[in-house]
Amino acid sequence: MDRRLAESWHDLSFTDVVTVLESDINKGLTASDVVERQEQYGANRITPQKSKGPLLMFLLQFHQPLIYILLAASLITLLLKEWVDSGVIFGVVLVNAIIGFIQESKALKAIEALARSMEGSATVLRDGKKSTIAASDLVPGDLVLLQSGDKVPADLRLINSRELQIDESALTGESVPVQKREQQLEAQTLLAERSNMMYSSTLVTYGTGTGVVVAIGDNTEIGRINTLIASAASLATPLTRKITHFSKVLLWVILGLSVLTFIAGWLHGESLLDTFMAAVALAVGAIPEGLPAAMTIMLAIGVSKMATRHAIIRKMPAVETLGSTTVVCSDKTGTLTKNQMTVMQVFSGDKNYQFTGTGYAPEGDVRLNDSVIQIESHPLLKECLTAGLLCNDSRLIANDGQWSIEGDPTEVALITAANKVGILEETLTSELPRVDVLPFESQHQYMATLHDLSSGQEKVMYLKGSVEKVLACCQDRYDENLQLVPLDKDRVYREMESMANKGLRVLAFAKKVMPADSQTVKHQDIDQNLSFIGLQAMMDPPRDEAMNAVRVCQSAGIQVKMITGDHVSTAAAIARNIGIGNNSEKEAKDFAIGGNELPQLSDSELVKVVQRSAVFARVTPEQKLRLVEALQKNDHVVAMTGDGVNDAPALKQADIGVAMGEGGTEVAKEAADMILIDDNFATIEAAIEEGRTVFDNLVKFITWTLPTNIGEGLVILIAIFLGLTLPITPVQILWINMTTALLLGMMLAFEGKEPGIMSRPPRDPKASVLTRELLIRIGIVSFLLLAGAYGLFEWAVAHNKDLETARTFAVNMFVFGEMFYLFHCRSLRYSMFKLGVFSNHWLLFGVACMTLLQVFFTHAAVMNKLFGTSPLEMFDWMLVIACALIIYICVGIEKWFRRLYERKVQA
């Protein structure tokens, strides 16, 4: 048997396909053939990819530079029998590892979901007998029988069919069921246009058919997608990449300073143990122990906030990635649009009628020149809507105020349009009962129905189809009074082109009076003697909120690109209607690119094209993946939406994959980082806004915590290099770092969004987390904390205070200095008075708790013994608060000068 690639089957006649596969068109395979081929080709299953075991996955959570530092600090303090220090540090590491393990174990399940999607049964013809078998038992050459409601069990070449329609949206992105036919096609035919092929995991929505199996398991189109998913890289998020780089730099800085500290202490004649403890104190002080926990908790809070805005986050780093997004590649159907075909315009007689209301609900009215009309005053319009309702095999179903459909969305749009003016199916079918039907076939491009008239003296035939085909059958037309008049076909074509340019799908309608004894309608009845009634133009209307969200995204500097299964011209018109692209881009020649053009572009050419083009139509799964990779080569942070199996590889490759919750396949959901509950593009815009807020709050935390670590490190360094007593001990440093991070720093996670957050451009993915201005501020606060802690320590020693009391001064200076500085970190630009002093209740709660805890730390005997501290007098407390207040005032002055400078630059 000659095994040919799946791409080659559509360009053979079905008899040649059966011959190549050594099957029998009448009897199918024999039992011996099946056994032989099962041994040769295996089961019709997707091969699962090898994955990391749970233990390895858990251990890899510790494979981070910052974690190495913390583990080393934990081990060293353990060896020095500092049990509290060691336990706290290791506890932070362990919690982060557990959270990371849970998140990763939920991810990367797309391949298992693909395998599940292949499960099911199939009806086959073997040895001339019909039987139902497990879909996994199919082999190449099997004859498979399909009917409405079946899932296609393998890739099939169609042999014969009757009115067969298949929903291929999960594979190709085509929103409307595809009419299938047996005819041989050109070799260059795109996947979405191979009307003689049926692909695994697609759904039969109408009709029956028989096909021969040409590919199973990994060789099917869905199997190829499985390979793409496995090969797609899981990318680190922008913040993760920056934190990793920061951690590596910090690792060497801390190690270097710790070695210098050890050498300096040894040169000053200190004991090796004391010198070693000083080096550990420096390492512990310089490490921002609270940063991993803060990142995890802030991202988790972001996840919770997004859930209230209809976005489910599967992988926590995706929260921050959203805030960095520079390009959103969105599917059209159901995301930017309602996924409910709606008649928008009817041309009948010489008049253009506009229909209001969108979706399947029969709500809205009909207008002529902006005035609402009464249908009885427009008999030709009524006749056109009647034709759309009667020449129809679909159903619109009402259930508890919700509307659902059975059949073709295009036909349901015709039903809804008629219902809007009170033309109801139950009334018409009793007045004009159907006698016969000529179903739609793609080669004829029309459908016809025959109906009895109540008079019984004659019958009437209604025709629905493409404009070209229907006009070719018409010799005249009806006017407003239902009188026959000459037909101006050029006028009709102009109206059709005008509608098509708006992205509307146009159907034409005609009528023919038949003899009373007619009982059937045949193709020969569709001749030159029909009378034209009108045109109905429909579209999948844009979501109102999606149009606004696109505008907000573009004003925020985020490019929006549409990737769809529609034809290029339709997709471009809808994109312009939604508002994608600026005016110059919309008129550009390469505003929209078709899937047939992409293979002709080299990778370097595609990198340039994706920058200019905003619409990509009729693209394959490989091309979607290629588009995402090309955008990433332009240093874009890419968010990709999708709902089908065909979207999964690109969803995984994207910096953030966004799957649809309502209409999405399980494969897409498993590959995605985020799931939209309501399948709405506006939710993506809301999530990006929330992501920017989360990133802002993370930067605020880093800006707040680093001065403490730098100040503590400098205190240790100066003491060692000058041969002085340490103002703070390692265990006191841990107390400062962990309690303030939890009760003060974490409260920044509850800060609301900054003013104008969606008016500023996206962050440069290459830019540092901390700007030059923030580094200057961190330096100022670090120096002030150092000066305050050392100044109070030396003042206490000079006033004959014992060492424990002097160190208590230093510890409280760090804590309360951080506390006062925290109020300035609520916004990196504005004062807390502009935000509202009481707008963050959690921050005020944290400050109150931290104050009480610090009083307990200072005055409780058990804490004095455990941490080596001593109670302070009232005057001592006043000194601490005064020094902390100086930090607040200095930062306030710096921010005021910064705003003043910015206003001058803008002026």
Return the active site residues: 331
* Nearest-angstrom CA–CA distance, 827 and 683: 26
Q: Which residues of 42-77 are buried (b: 16+ CB within 10 A; e: fewer)?
A: ebbbbeeeeeeeeeeebeebeebbbbebbebbbebb
For residue 437, what are the β-bridge partners? 449
For 58: left if phi > 0, alpha if psi spans -120 to 50, otherwise beta; the answer is: alpha
* Nearest-angstrom CA–CA distance, 353 and 439: 28
What are the CA-CA distances from residue 721 to residues 286, 471, 797 (Å)?
17, 95, 19
> CA torsion angle for 195, 200, 202, 203 (degrees, to 10)?
100
For residue 355, what are the β-bridge partners? 366
- Residue 171 in tokens: 């594979």
- Residue 488 in tokens: 């101006």
- Residue 526 in tokens: 């569709």
Q: Is 561 helix (H, G, I), strand (E, B) or coil?
A: strand
Which backbone phi and psi does 31 adopt, to 5 degrees? -60, -40
The residue among 766, 741, 654, 631 whose CA lies nearest residue 245 is 766
Query: Are 620 and 646 a contacting pair, CB within 8 Å?
Result: yes
Q: Which amino acid is at 640?
A: M
What are the CA-CA distances from residue 834 to residues 28, 185, 325, 744 (Å)?
78, 67, 28, 20
* Nearest-angstrom CA–CA distance, 257 and 495: 78
Q: Is 213 helix (H, G, I), strand (E, B) or coil?
A: strand
* Nearest-angstrom CA–CA distance, 848 and 331: 49
Those residues with Cβ within 8 angstroms of residue 123's Cβ, 6 or more apart along the chain or in another chain: 130, 131, 132, 144, 145, 146, 150
Query: Are 384 and 533 a contacting pair, CB within 8 Å?
Result: yes
Task: Count how many Cα atoms sit within 13 Å of the Cα of residue 448 in the half-sphere of its side chain.
Answer: 25
Which backbone phi and psi does 829 adopt, to 5 degrees? -125, -40
Q: Is 488 helix (H, G, I), strand (E, B) or coil?
A: coil
- Residue 495 in tokens: 């109206």
* Nearest-angstrom CA–CA distance, 825 and 821: 7
530 burial (CB, 10 Å; 0-12 / 13-18 / 19+) is buried
What are the CA-CA distances from residue 745 to residues 474, 730, 735 (Å)?
76, 20, 14
Q: Is 96 helix (H, G, I), strand (E, B) or coil?
A: helix
- Residue 547 in tokens: 């149009």
Q: Is 182 helix (H, G, I), strand (E, B) or coil?
A: coil
Instruction: Give the per-residue SS3 of 496-551.
Output: HHHHHHCCCEEEEEEEEEEECCCCCCCHHHCCCCEEEEEEEEEECCECHHHHHHHH
Question: DSSP states of 327-356 as a string?
Answer: EEEEESTTTTB-S--EEEEEEETTEEEEE-
> Among the residues of 268-316, which ranges form H helices?
272-286, 290-307
11 burial (CB, 10 Å; 0-12 / 13-18 / 19+) is middle
